[in-house]
Amino acid sequence: MKALSLATVFAALSGFIVVYVASWALDVDRAAEFQAYWGLFFAATGFLDGLMQETTRAVSTARESGRIGSGRPWRLGTAIGVGALALVAVSGFWWMPLLVTGDTGSAVALMALGLLSYTFQSVLSGILSGLGLWTRYAWLVALDSGIRLLLALLAWALGWTMLAFLILTVIGAAMWLVVLALSSEARSAARALVDVDPAPLARRVGSAMLATGAAAVMITGFPVFIQATTTESTPGNVTVAGIIMAVTLTRAPILVPLQRFQSALIVRFVETRDSLLRSLGVPVALVLGLGVVGGVLAWLIGPWILSTFFKDGYEIPGLILAILTFASACTGSLMITGTATLAREKHRAYVAGWVVASAVAFGVLWLAPLTLEAGVCVALIAGPVAGGLVHVWALRRMAVPASGAS
């Protein structure tokens, strides 16, 4: 588990460095296109993370209970991956020019192949996590992030073009091949069985993908929604660019590592099914405590960081940075309660919590008569709190361990 902790910290740092390097390696317009492409890819992989989460639960439950079904995650992953590839390949030439100019064909092809490969990476990640092979999973996480960081630094040093940054966005999704090639233990683990048959596995993966997709829309898509719903006449004391950058910076330190830890949390909650609410309290308290500490630090040094390392127009008051940091911890708590409902096979409640969180957050931002900064702060706290209450309510209603999806 120590290896996984180090890998998740590395993943959080490397992702931020890649985006930061791109802002210096590319001109302003191309850097903006890269960030849009980067955000779209990881929003799409957010949907595919549902395959990883349900594979983790199914493999872990099969190992704990001895209940074996005939479901095959690799076969299901192939169908999902081919579907994602076809969807992007058919529709990409219509919408990709809105994001990337000059490399549209390459951008579409790379996106399609990257999502296909990521489905298999999700399956392997879920199997390794479900079997408790944390060192192997940590290597997969580290390689995924490390190859992107290495190529970004090379691209900056050697003056490579936009195409290199498109490639490095998706290349991490191929690291499952490296892990399987180098680890006999991983190859053996890849044949692990799950606890359900193909039809229930497909339904549960679909539910999990809907939920992780809702999470991805809220986490990755929220800054885009800010820009889409905000006009120059919107009242407030900060710029749209500034608040989007503030949201991005305050989320990364908490949410990126926590995303990588979700598989470990699922296993923890599967193993503590009889005292789930008690075991749920510890990680939630830790994340909220981290949000408070991080909020204080953001208040004290955040404005200096923005004024020192970023261009004019990104200035944000320390109080806003502090609130946004705590808001990211609220979203982190929602991620934890979500993994708990998934571990108890409360798939509908899992989806409902994320959908409610997204609806409340976007509703506040769109409809509430607040300034830009106040609306964002309220939305990013109210949404996760509402979604978390849905999850906890569903867990409290369970008098006995669940035996199937609900």
Amino acid at 282: V
The pLDDT value recorded for residue 227 is: 61
The pLDDT value recorded for residue 405 is: 44
The pLDDT value recorded for residue 183 is: 93
CB-CB contact of 334 with 388 (8 Å): yes
| Helices 162-171/2-25 angle, 10° precision | 170
Give the single-character DSSP code of 27: -
Element (DSSP H or E) covering residue 324: helix 318-343
Distance separating the N- and C-terminal Cα atoms of the chain = 31
Q: How many whole angstroms separate alpha carbon 337 and alpha carbon 276?
A: 10
Q: Residue 163, CB half-sphere, CA atoms under 13 Å: how many?
A: 7
Enter the pTM of the model: 0.76
DSSP string, 89-149: HHHHHHHGGGT-SS-HHHHHHHHHHHHHHHHHHHHHHHHHHHTT-HHHHHHHHHHHHHHHH
Q: How many whole angstroms separate alpha carbon 20 and alpha carbon 177?
A: 28
| Plot region of 102 (φ>0 → left; ψ -120 to 50 → alpha; else → beta) | left
Q: How many whole angstroms separate alpha carbon 268 and alpha carbon 1?
A: 12
Structure tokens at 387: 């979604």
Q: Residue 393, CB half-sphere, CA atoms under 13 Å: how many?
A: 10
* Long-range CB contacts for residues 4-9, cutoff 8 Å, separation at least 24: 4/134, 4/135, 4/137, 4/138, 4/141, 4/260, 4/261, 4/264, 6/138, 6/142, 7/137, 7/138, 7/139, 7/141, 7/142, 7/145, 7/260, 8/141, 8/256, 8/257, 8/260, 8/261, 9/257
Element (DSSP H or E) covering residue 11: helix 2-25
Measuring CA to CA, how many Å separate 49 from each of 32, 211, 212, 271, 302? 26, 10, 6, 21, 31
Q: How many whole angstroms separate alpha carbon 91 and alpha carbon 113?
A: 14
pLDDT by 10-residue block (mean), the chain, 406 residues: 80 84 80 79 90 93 88 95 97 87 92 97 96 93 95 94 95 96 94 92 90 80 68 62 80 79 81 78 93 96 88 84 96 92 83 90 89 92 96 79 45
Contacts of 20 (CB under 8 A, 6+ apart): none
Place of tokens 């408790």: 132
Angle at 341 between CA 322 and CA 385, to 5 degrees: 30
